[in-house]
């Protein structure tokens, strides 16, 4: 047998053993190579943040003298199942300048607001679109010839918003809330009584930090 034929026989005999070794090396290199994650942004967990905005009895108009400003804080918790996100939130805020005409020159002004609500929405990776519902309360302060004193009123809260993740922990949101307080009764000039359906509408921007 010539040397050339001997090399061919040896190559043919070693080829089946060399192929698994090459395949194993390729699998190992792929295993240790950086892998791209297919998971989206995780909205689950507790959070806290602050917000500010404008509020009014009708749709907020920054140029209306009855539109007030609002500033406050919120805390809550999110749960996530696939693309669906749900949870609860508590918020409190201070309002100034949101006034309500209740007749005969009498006015009420909202000062303090609080709400307990649930949130549910759809996460589009780092963007969360959600609706919210709950119970909101506010403190009405008497103005001008209203003599009934301070009153706390509450009612159904409905709203919607969008939240955008800015990093692993920080996010920014824009939210609209409507609260219906029903009929609010006040004493005017110490003698007459006024009952009027009152509500609030608030547009606010806020930030949240996830823990």
Nearest CA to 99 out of 39, 58, 156 is that of 58
Query: Which pLDDT score is estimated for 4?
Result: 45
pLDDT digits (tens, 9 = 90+) for 124-165: 999 999 999 999 999 988 887 776 656 889 999 999 999 999
| pLDDT reading at 20 higher than 90 | no
**Residue 130 and residue 20: Cα distance in Å, rounded?**
53
Assess if residue 32 is contained within a domain: no
Which sign, positive or negative, has the C-alpha torsion 18, 19, 20, 24? positive
pLDDT digits (tens, 9 = 90+) for 79-102: 999 999 999 999 999 998 888 888
- 20 CB-side CA count, 13 A: 3
β-bridge mates for residue 10, sequence order: none
Assess if residue 7 is contained within a domain: no
The number of distinct structural domains making up the chain is 1
Instruction: Name the average pLDDT for the chain.
Output: 82
Give the CATH number of the domain where residue 168 resides: 2.40.160.20
Q: Residue 61: which domain range?
A: 45-210
Assess if residue 98 is contained within a domain: yes
Assess if residue 146 is contained within a domain: yes
Assess if residue 17 is contained within a domain: no
Assess if residue 82 is contained within a domain: yes
Phi and psi at residue 9, in whole multiples of 5°? -65, -45
Give exposure, 19-38, as e/b (b: 16+ Cβ within 10 Å).
eeeeeeeeeeeeeeeeeeee
pLDDT digits (tens, 9 = 90+) for 164-185: 999 999 999 999 999 999 988 8
């Amino acid at each position: 047998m010539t040397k050339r034929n001997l090399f061919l026989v040896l190559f043919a005999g070693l080829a089946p053993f060399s192929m698994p070794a090459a395949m194993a090396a390729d699998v190992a290199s792929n295993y240790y190579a950086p892998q791209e994650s297919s998971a989206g942004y995780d909205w689950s967990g507790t959070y806290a943040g602050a917000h500010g905005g404008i509020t009014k009895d009708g749709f907020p108009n920054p140029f209306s003298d009855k539109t007030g400003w609002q500033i406050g804080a919120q805390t809550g918790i999110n749960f996530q199942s696939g693309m669906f996100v749900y949870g609860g939130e508590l918020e409190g805020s201070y309002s100034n300048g949101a006034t309500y005409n209740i007749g005969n020159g009498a006015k009420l002004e909202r000062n303090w607001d609080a709400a307990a609500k649930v949130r549910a929405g759809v996460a589009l990776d780092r963007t969360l679109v959600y609706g919210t519902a709950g119970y909101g309360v506010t403190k009405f302060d008497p103005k001008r010839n209203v003599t009934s004193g301070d009153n706390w009123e509450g009612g159904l809260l409905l709203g919607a918003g969008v939240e955008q993740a800015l990093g692993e922990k920080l996010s920014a949101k824009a939210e609209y809330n409507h609260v219906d307080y029903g009929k609010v009764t006040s004493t005017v000039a110490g003698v007459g009584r006024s009952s009027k359906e009152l509500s609030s509408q608030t547009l606010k921007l806020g930030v949240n930090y996830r823990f």
